[in-house]
Amino acid sequence: MRRSPTRLFMGVMILLGVAAGPLAAELSYITQARQGREAGGEPRMIITAASQVELVTLVAARADYQRSVNPPQADNPLGAFWNERSKPFGVHAAPLHLRALRKHGLWGDRLLEFALHLSSPPALERVVPWSEDLLDAARGESMEDPAAVLDQLRLEIKDFGEKVRFDDHFTDRQGEYDTMVAGLEALLEGQDPMEQNATFWGVKPSGDLYLIPSPLMAGGYLASIKVGGSTHQFLAFGPALAVRVVDPNFLNHLLHHELSHLIVDPILRAHADGLEASSALWRPLAQKLRDATHVVTWTDGVGEHLLRAYNIHLLQKEDPVHADLYVSSEEAGGYIYTRPFLEILSEYAGDRGRWPSLAAYMPAFMERLVAMAGNVRDLDPVSRVPEFELANSGFEEGGGAWIARNWMLVRAGDLPGKAAGKFTEVRRDAQVAHQGTASLRLRIGPDTTGLVAVEQGPLAVRSGGTVRASAWVKTEEVQREGMQQKVCGLYVIFFNKAGEIISRGESDTAVGTLDWTHLTAEFVAPAHTARAGFGILLGMSGTAWFDDVDFERVD
């Protein structure tokens, strides 16, 4: 065991199946969990590569690939190499059997738990009895012997692994695992996410955390295993679709989100009856998240919103620009109550003397949700009744950790939904103003091809109607560099009832260094327009200030 040089963990244990030789077969979850912590000791964080998890992940990816006809290559996290290598076994029993069991629930966290019951390949022995959760996932409608079903799947996966020579692959990729482990150690230096989450939610963990890096995996899954009086957590994750082997934003999100589920979910389940009082919020949410199979009840929806808000709450302190993008991204992904949940969470975090734990806060939390349910239509960014006039049009009101109240950052940097750090800046500027005391400052560096866009909406317009957008703008060395887009001004987006974009228009562009200049543009709403969004846009290097914006009907 290697001791962490910080005081945060009792220890960080590195257990690499590929390096352990005969010990590899001992890397089952039950063996490790029993060794997890000394009596009375603090929970530990343990990093372990698990070849059985990798093999099951490969079979699951192959099963996913077979679900669609001519699926896009990018949708397969294993890439061309494993597709080509496993093609001769594309109709093999293992992925077919796994696909059949998926509808019963043998996927995601359950699939991880299934893998943790097994020893390393090629033996792939079942080292402990199947858990009740796994037996339920394998039982099916015909009520066949679920243990036999899982044992058969294990043998099929073992046969698949032997035919694609998986064990050789796992050994050959030792360098990738070493890189992931080194990256994890560097990221976790000086951090204790277990303690941070426990402190925030007011519940102390009882067991260890096992991090299982998986270069084959895209995303992360967490299994909770009870052994004796402790509950140990196993988080398997991989950046197969990410640029870097270990992405700090990705890892921090997983650690805080998935580990908090273990604390938050039991509290929410204990108050499920009380949460039903706000179930009017469930129908519009279910329509947005119909493809998210893990969100199937209103209690699930509450948990997902709460934990996504928690990630944003943590990010606000470090990068409010990225945090604002995060909110917009979550709303676009169907989590339409992200903003009000973030306000609720801020209330909880702002008075921990009154609410020392989430459990203590639950009565107030449920009251807030009931109040939300009485105004459900206005919470959905697409369906809420539009207003016509802009709010905070002079940027006089700050937004706490946000940039400016009522304004949403919808794009920053080189990619939608991803801040570009030093290359972009979005700030409310209390030192520069056309009138009043503040303006909105946008800046883009010369080394990015990205855009910065800040938006407000929905705004009420009618099909065929004409609207005028205007603002005062001041610029400093705004110029196009390389492949940058020559835009610095205003835009309007028109949406239909379904929230789909049907038209977009932009004002003239402000270029160079200008004192306060008035920009104005008129736009005609096309047929089927139901609402509009109004925004400010910068796509060139330099700095631009916007103030006293307006949006008005012409006819």
What would the pLDDT profile of 242-290 be if each residue is shown by its tens digit? 434 456 666 777 788 888 888 898 999 999 999 999 999 998 888 788 6
Q: Determine the Cα–Cα distance for residues 410 and 86; give it in Å rounded to an integer.
A: 41
How many CB atoms are located within 10 Å of the residue 242 CB? Answer: 13
Residues of the chain with CATH 2.60.120.260: 408-553
The mean pLDDT value of the chain amounts to: 79
- State the Cα angle at 146 between 235 and 143, rounded to 5°: 130
Task: Average the pLDDT over 504-523 and give the result.
Answer: 93
pLDDT score recorded for residue 71: 44
pLDDT score recorded for residue 70: 43
Q: Determine the Cα–Cα distance for residues 341 and 276; give it in Å rounded to an integer.
A: 17
Residue 21 has pLDDT above 50, yes or no: no
| Band (228; pLDDT cuts 50, 70, 90) | low
pLDDT score recorded for residue 434: 95
Residue 490 has pLDDT above 50, yes or no: yes
- State the Cα angle at 235 between 53 and 135, rounded to 5°: 60
Among 33-47, 240-254, 322-336, 474-488, the minimum mean pLDDT is found in 240-254
Q: Pick the closest to residue 301 from 355, 348, 344, 338 (CA basis).
A: 338
> Is the CB of residue 254 less than 8 Å from the CB of residue 242?
no
Take residue 135 and report the two structure tokens written for it: 């037996």
pLDDT score recorded for residue 20: 31
> Is the CB of residue 137 less than 8 Å from the CB of residue 144?
no
Residue 157's contacts (CB-CB under 8 Å, 6 or more residues apart) are 55, 56, 59, 94, 124
Q: Determine the Cα–Cα distance for residues 321 and 351; give it in Å rounded to an integer.
A: 25
pLDDT score recorded for residue 10: 28
Q: pLDDT (tens digit, 9 = 90+) per residue, 472-485?
A: 999 999 999 888 88
- For residue 385, give the DSSP letter: P
Q: Determine the Cα–Cα distance for residues 439 and 547; give it in Å rounded to an integer.
A: 5
pLDDT score recorded for residue 416: 38
Q: Pick the closest to residue 424 from 450, 394, 457, 401 (CA basis).
A: 450
pLDDT score recorded for residue 152: 93
Fold exhibited by the domain 408-553 = Jelly Rolls (2.60.120)
How many CB atoms are located within 10 Å of the residue 436 CB? Answer: 12
Q: pLDDT (tens digit, 9 = 90+) per residue, 94-146?
A: 888 888 888 788 887 888 889 988 888 889 998 878 888 888 888 876 567 89
Strands in 541-553's sheet, in edge-to-edge order, are 424-429, 439-444, 541-553, 466-479, 512-524
* More confident call, 209 vs 31: 209
- For residue 159, give the DSSP letter: H
Question: What percent of the chain clears pLDDT 70, i.e. is strictly above it?
Answer: 79
Phi/psi of residue 37, nearest 5 degrees: -150, 150
| Band (237; pLDDT cuts 50, 70, 90) | confident
- For tokens 């870097």, the residue is 244
Task: Average the pLDDT over 365-393 and give the result.
Answer: 83
pLDDT score recorded for residue 333: 83
Peptide bond into 458 cis (omega under 30): yes
Q: pLDDT (tens digit, 9 = 90+) per residue, 517-533?
A: 999 999 999 999 988 98
DSSP assignment of 439-505: EEEEEE-TT---EEEEEEEEE---TT-EEEEEEEEEEEEEE--TT----EEEEEEEE-TTS-EEEEE
> Is the CB of residue 2 less than 8 Å from the CB of residue 13?
yes
> Is the CB of residue 533 less than 8 Å from the CB of residue 455?
yes
Task: Average the pLDDT over 420-426 and give the result.
Answer: 64
Among 204-208, 243-247, 362-366, the minimum mean pLDDT is found in 243-247
Question: What percent of the chain clears pLDDT 90, i.e. is strictly above it?
Answer: 29
Q: Determine the Cα–Cα distance for residues 146 and 514; give it in Å rounded to an integer.
A: 73
Q: Pick the closest to residue 56 from 145, 120, 135 (CA basis).
A: 120
